[in-house]
Amino acid sequence: MAASAVIDIKGLSKIYGSGGKSLVALDKLTLQVEPGEIFGYLGPNGAGKTTTIRVLLDLIRPSSGSATIFGMDARQQSVAIHQRIGFLPGELNLWQGRSGAQVIHYVASVRGGVKSIVKQAEELAARLKLDTSKKVRDLSSGNKRKLGLVIAMMHSPDLLILDEPTSGLDPLVQQTFHELMNEYRDKGKTVFLSSHVLSEVQAICDRVGILRDGDLKAVQSVDALTNVKFRWVHVQFRDDVPAEVAQGLRGLAAVSEFNADGCHARMRLQGDFDPLLRTIAAGYVEQLHVEEPTLEDIFLAYYSGGGEDA
């Protein structure tokens, strides 16, 4: 399996600094990304996602371990690898005084085959509703992100490496982005994207790697991750939370961490809504609010006993 992996990372560590001030950004990371999959690299800020990507791109060098892409060493054969990849950094900065079209032309000229690449860039820009005639300094952060996506995808790379790709994009463009990713997968190409947004990863990824403090905690399918998923439910009653409702909710197997404060109740729900709805119907419900768990919640659920069965 590993032999055919598009990305094959083995025992990769990255330690910044030395002595007492050293920081372990990646700790013996081992990971494979298979051809034709969209792999979500999930973790809170500072987990080591960007560090992994920067090692893959040979921007930083590992302290130990190795990484190959398309079977080529990420360090020794970086130029050949870069010919086949597209990259969008998490914090995108481009040449401020150049227009989008000029930046596209520059990147295309470095890659070679300017005409066909620029044509594809124009098509992508149209789909993302990006005006490439504007100078980079005049683009909003969302439009800069679009330009970054165009640059990453315009040469139809075999592998896309995207660091927080939808950060700053409006929902409509995010939808277009999801479509583009699905089209990519349909063409048999591979995407490695980092994110700290669970819903984004769920929407488009096939498999997910969960990283925390430089340590890869789990690699699993999105379905398995969804099983971990729960919701926070907030119920606002007209009067104080009725005693029988509170008692009923506490007794539900799917409800935990129940907390009542005046007319407001908050609980964690893992499972179907029906038993909960029937129980709260005994009171007069003014508002019902369902909150998706944060990535941190998922981590806590996953690593503090909740695990995959939680």
Partner 1 sequence: MTGAVFIETFKQTWKQMVAWGFGLAALAMMVVLMVPLFDMQDMKSLLENFPPFILAMIGIGSDLEVFATNEGFVAIGFFGKSALIFAVYPVVMGMRITAEEEDTGIMDVLLSLPLSRAKTLVEKFLAYSISIIGVVLLIYLGVGIGASLGNVDLDAGRLTEVTFYLIPLMIFVMAATMLVAAVARRRMVALGVITAFVVASFMLQTIGLAAEGTVAEPLGAVSFFTYYNAGNILREGFIWPHIAGYAALSLLMLAASLYRYERRDVGV
CB of 74 to partner 1, least distance (A): 12
DSSP assignments along 172-241, one per residue: HHHHHHHHHHHHHHHTT-EEEEEES-HHHHHHH-SEEEEEETTEEEEEEEHHHHHHH--EEEEEEESSSP
* HSE-up of residue 297 (Cα within 13 Å, Cβ side): 17
- CA nearest neighbour of 196 among 179, 211, 214: 211
CB of 168 to partner 1, least distance (A): 15
> In this complex, which beta carbon is closest to partner 1, that of residue 86 or of residue 248?
86
35: tokens are 């051809």
CB of 60 to partner 1, least distance (A): 4
> In this complex, which beta carbon is closest to partner 1, that of residue 5 or of residue 136?
136
Nearest-5° Cα angle at 288, 286 to 290: 165
CB of 106 to partner 1, least distance (A): 5
Q: Which residues bind partner 1 (CB under 8 A)?
A: 16, 54, 57-61, 78-80, 82-83, 85, 87, 89, 91-95, 97-98, 106-107, 109-112, 148, 151
> In this complex, which beta carbon is closest to partner 1, that of residue 163 or of residue 297?
163
CB of 285 to partner 1, least distance (A): 49
From the number of C-beta atoms within 10 Å of its C-beta (0-12, 13-18, 19+), residue 53 rates as buried
Report which DSSP code applies to 114: H
CA 255 to chain centre: 28
Classify 82 as helix, strand or coil.
helix
> In this complex, which beta carbon is closest to partner 1, that of residue 57 or of residue 233?
57
CB of 35 to partner 1, least distance (A): 21
> In this complex, which beta carbon is closest to partner 1, that of residue 58 or of residue 164?
58
For residue 58, the one-letter residue type is D
Q: How far is CA 277 from CA 76, 259, 291, in A?
A: 60, 16, 16
252: tokens are 């539900």
Residues 6+ apart with CB under 8 A from 58: 74, 75, 78, 81
CB of 95 to partner 1, least distance (A): 6
> In this complex, which beta carbon is closest to partner 1, that of residue 87 or of residue 184?
87
> In this complex, which beta carbon is closest to partner 1, that of residue 51 or of residue 174?
51
